[in-house]
Copies of this chain bind each other. A is one copy, B any other.
């Protein structure tokens, strides 16, 4: 069970309590507030709080014009226009706060995004739970031979079992030693009064990168979309992509119009270089085009033809 009992208790209480507010709400997000969305074998994503909705974006954009709110159909057009033209500041007017549990190696990638606020579980103060990530067989893959950072085919079933056992045994062992070094249980009681307790901040260094940590993570909508564009991308590691995929569904719950524009102009859109644009124009005029003439490198040409379903 991912949430520890006192947190689970809080979550239940919080979800049941309602308050009256003068603020605007997102009815979609209210439905799932505090609720735990499982990711990987022990992780989760929960929305803890939020500020603003699609309307807040429109409102902020219209500060520019000194005019009151307009009709709903125009709002959709305005939001699409803003995202298409990279007028990103109105999207910064919405904010969301997540509670996320993820393996340490995922947290390390996650925290490279600097325009967010973070409070992470501290293993200097507190004792880490015995929870670690073991990939399921369908995600255990060989190193890609063409992409130095990617995965190729999945491992054979027997070898998968071997790998999973090896990872599990090592994690069990390092955690066992972690407990031995701490010489105290999760409640802070000393186990063996005859023995010294190694300081927590050093004992934790024996844990491996597949152990789970958790954090509160708060970000504005513009930077969230940037994060999701990068981390839901097929080039991102599967384990962080699994989180991004869940968060994209929460984005839809929160700001349905912006979500639509996000798919259109970010997630499913594309960026073309000058040479690529020139080549497309030639092709549309019925003129031929070759890699040599295009000015693109072989690699770029390959990316280009794949992007447009062209024969390479």
List chain B residues, Cβ under 8 A from A22.
Answer: 14-15, 17-19, 30, 33-34
Instruction: Determine whether the beta carbon of B283 is less than 8 Å from that of A309.
Output: no
Copy number in the complex reads 4
Known: A95-B51, A206-B170. A199 touches B272 (CB 8 A): no
Known: A63-B214, A155-B196. A103 touches B205 (CB 8 A): yes
List chain B residues, Cβ under 8 A from A124.
Answer: 149, 237
Interface 1/0s, chain A 87-129, versus B by CB < 8 A?
0011011010101000111011001101101111110111001
Chain A interface category by residue count: 35 or more
9 smallest A-B Cβ distances: which pairs?
Answer: A6-B68, A268-B274, A92-B117, A51-B51, A114-B114, A205-B210, A60-B119, A124-B149, A64-B122
- Apart from A93-B97, A206-B208: 19 A-B pairs, beta carbons within 8 A: A18-B20, A19-B22, A20-B20, A21-B21, A23-B49, A24-B49, A60-B119, A61-B119, A81-B299, A84-B300, A105-B204, A108-B111, A141-B199, A151-B202, A155-B198, A170-B206, A205-B209, A269-B271, A281-B308
